[in-house]
Structure 1
Amino acid sequence: MKWFKSPARHGYAVEMSPFLPNSLACATAQYYGIAGCGTLLVLEQRESDIQLARSFDWNDGLFDVTWSENNEHVLVTGSGDGSLQIWDTANPQGPIRVLKEHTQEVYAVDWSQTRGENLVVSGSWDHTAKVWDPERPQSICTLKGHEGVVYSTIWSLHHPACFASASGDGTLRVWDVKAGSCRMAIPAHKAEILSCDWCKYDQNVLATGAVDCSVCVWDLRNIRQPVAQMLGHSYAIRRIKICWMDATRRAKPKLRQGFEFWDFSRSPPLLDTMEHHSEFVCGLDFNLHIPNQVVDCSWDETVKIYTPQCLAAMQPSSA
């Protein structure tokens, strides 16, 4: 396991670069995000450790980060002052653009990965989601409908101009940006939903994680009940990711929530439990370039990179 320590900065989100296998970014905040400033850490994975490549400070806490899908040097962060910052790692002078329309904290940002699009979606405590062209100073549209904090916004990998959002109102919503409306609202949990993610290999499948300590897997073709539900975690599910798997394997994707790895196609679904942090884990990601490699960040001021044995053991055989 490799790790990086950032004194007095509590990790909120971490993401591996889609271009470079050893580059990653972490959004952090002072004083657990309650007060103080934030820092964007651009890190480099080495053979035996993680080194700081560059850091950028902002005057409020940074709660999420997403890499550009078009430029390996560009990132976007969301902060507690209601703004999005666009950073260029080759420019040490600060953000190259600041986008400010939200009236409360920006808690989620994501860069579209569908071909031909160059869009960022943001979710805020002001109950709205906004879609941005990073080259323009104003948002393209504002999506209203949630009755609570928007904690998570994730673009579909399959449908252009389509994203999902998860909210404190207990609903998972699917939005059509071209129509400027909500296509589907799912009462997914009887509690605040803190995270959602799309399946990379099935355009109809999403997963949600909530304050009720459960993970639910949803099929948009039948939303009357989840196709799978995973219980047993001791704390709220702050972040959930569906694993990128070898597409040749005929298996369901595995879910990682908090310190636990799940495979909802198995019974029992729990694969492994990791306990290598002393505070809450708020951010996690899978490395697209290195199979089964996971990165996470925690309020204990550390970023860690590791390969869980439970994932490595499930690699497809040569047969």
Structure 2
Amino acid sequence: MFTFQTQARHGYSVQFSPFYAQRLACATSQHYGIAGSGRLFVLDFTPGHGIQPIRVLDWNSGLFDVTWSEDNENVLVTGSGDGSLQVWDAMQPAAPLKVLKDHTREVYSVHWSQTRNEHFIISASWDRTIKLWDIHKENPLSTCTGHDGLVYSAVWSPHIPGCVASVSGDQTLRVWDLRNPEAARMIIPAHSAEILTCDWAKYDQNVLFTGSVDAVIRGWDIRRGDRCLCELTGHHMAVRRLKTSPHVGSVLASTSYDFTVRIWDTSSKQCTDNLEHHSEFVYGLDFNLHTSGQLADCGWDELVRVYSVPSCLPKEPP
């Protein structure tokens, strides 16, 4: 396991680079994100040297999420408590390349397009909206409205161009076609509590997973939103982040306010691993696209951890 301390900064989001197997970014906030500034760490990890910062970038408000560019290995975007998005160049130790501002409250989620139009970003905010941005333009291209609560997460489909899923404090999962942002294509009352996170299955374009304050994870088929595919229970507090594996279709990972990271087999509906290596809320989570079975997470205990989990590896053929 590799460990790095984000001194006096509390981790909110971590993401591996889509270009380099040994690189990741971590978005953090001072004073647990309630007040103070934010800091973006760009980190490299190697055996024998551990995790080393290659760039530390500061912003005057807490940073709550980070996403890497899909078409430039040095560009990242963060979302912050002042309602803005910051576009950074990891090789330039100064101010952001650009600041995008249209939200009126905290930006809690940013995500780079996973299909076509690799210069597109979506942002989700506590102002109850989701905005579509072209990284080369100053103003949002469109705004999705309709959620009745804080929007905690919005993620692009890895399969369907222009398709986005979002979850909110209004207890719904919504699927949007950005060609028609005025109305959600589908609204699923997915939980009986605020929903903090969602992610698409990497091997089935119709399947989504949600995680909620009710400590439950549920799977959904967007062709049949009236009933869930599966329900995963075991966390004792709110589920903060979900990530589906890019290597094994049945593997899902989750973080929680119960200080744990759990690995799930969605086919058997069983928890295969319960990792207790944090002493505070665990917020960020990601799978390494380049290294099968490797994950990173971060939490309010100021720790970033990179590690491998055998149950996340593809099974050997008989």
**Corresponding residue for 1:249?**
none
Aligned amino acid, residue 317 of structure 1: E
Unaligned runs of 5+ in 1: 247-251
Q: Does residue 14 of structure 2 align to residue 14 of structure 1?
A: yes
**Corresponding residue for 1:221?**
223
Does the 8 Å contact 1:56/1:92 carry over to 2?
yes
Does the 8 Å contact 2:234/2:271 carry over to 1?
no
Question: How far off is 1:318 after superposition?
Answer: 4.5
CA distance in 1, matches of 2:85, 2:316: 44
**C-alpha deviations, 1:13-59, integer Å up to 9, x for none?**
00000001011000000000000000000000111310011010000
Q: Does residue 237 of structure 2 align to residue 240 of structure 1?
A: no
**Corresponding residue for 1:257?**
254
**Corresponding residue for 2:190?**
188
**Corresponding residue for 2:33?**
33
**Corresponding residue for 1:316?**
315
Does the 8 Å contact 1:245/1:253 carry over to 2?
no
CA distance in 2, matches of 1:83, 1:116: 22
Please give the secondary structure, in 1, of the residue aligned with 2:312.
Answer: helix
Question: How far off is 1:110 after superposition?
Answer: 0.1
Q: Does residue 58 of structure 2 align to residue 57 of structure 1?
A: yes
Question: How far off is 1:92 after superposition?
Answer: 1.4
Aligned amino acid, residue 203 of structure 2: Y
Please give the secondary structure, in 2, of the residue aligned with 1:239.
Answer: strand
CA distance in 1, matches of 2:100, 2:117: 22
Aligned amino acid, residue 240 of structure 1: L
Aligned amino acid, residue 73 of structure 2: E
Alignment of 1:126-275 (within 5 A): 126-180=127-181, 181-246=183-248, 252-258=249-255, 259-266=261-268, 269-275=270-276
Alignment of 1:58-137 (within 5 A): 58-137=59-138
**C-alpha deviations, 1:151-206, integer Å up to 9, x for none?**
00100011111110010000000111112231001000010000000011100000
Question: How far off is 1:264 after superposition?
Answer: 1.4
**C-alpha deviations, 1:130-160, integer Å up to 9, x for none?**
0000100000001100000000010001111
Question: How far off is 1:116 after superposition?
Answer: 3.8
Question: How far off is 1:115 after superposition?
Answer: 2.7
Question: How far off is 1:266 after superposition?
Answer: 1.1
Question: How far off is 1:253 after superposition?
Answer: 2.0
Does the 8 Å contact 1:122/1:153 carry over to 2?
yes
Please give the secondary structure, in 1, of the residue aligned with 2:240.
Answer: coil
Q: Does residue 43 of structure 2 align to residue 46 of structure 1?
A: no
- Larger deviation, residues 157-166 vs 101-110: 157-166
CA distance in 2, matches of 1:232, 1:89: 38
CA distance in 2, matches of 1:201, 1:159: 12
CA distance in 2, matches of 1:116, 1:138: 17
TM, length-normalised to structure 1: 0.95
Question: How far off is 1:89 after superposition?
Answer: 1.0
Does the 8 Å contact 1:296/1:304 carry over to 2?
yes
Question: How far off is 1:232 after superposition?
Answer: 2.0
Does the 8 Å contact 2:293/2:311 carry over to 1?
no
TM, length-normalised to structure 2: 0.96
Question: How far off is 1:90 after superposition?
Answer: 1.7
Sequence identity percentage: 53
Please give the secondary structure, in 2, of the residue aligned with 1:102.
Answer: coil
Question: How far off is 1:308 after superposition?
Answer: 1.5
Question: How far off is 1:60 after superposition?
Answer: 0.4
Does the 8 Å contact 1:13/1:28 carry over to 2?
yes
Does the 8 Å contact 1:243/1:255 carry over to 2?
yes
Does the 8 Å contact 1:218/1:227 carry over to 2?
yes
Does the 8 Å contact 2:173/2:187 carry over to 1?
yes
Does the 8 Å contact 2:71/2:118 carry over to 1?
no
- Number of equivalenced pairs: 311
CA distance in 1, matches of 2:37, 2:70: 27
Please give the secondary structure, in 2, of the residue aligned with 1:238.
Answer: strand
**Corresponding residue for 1:278?**
279
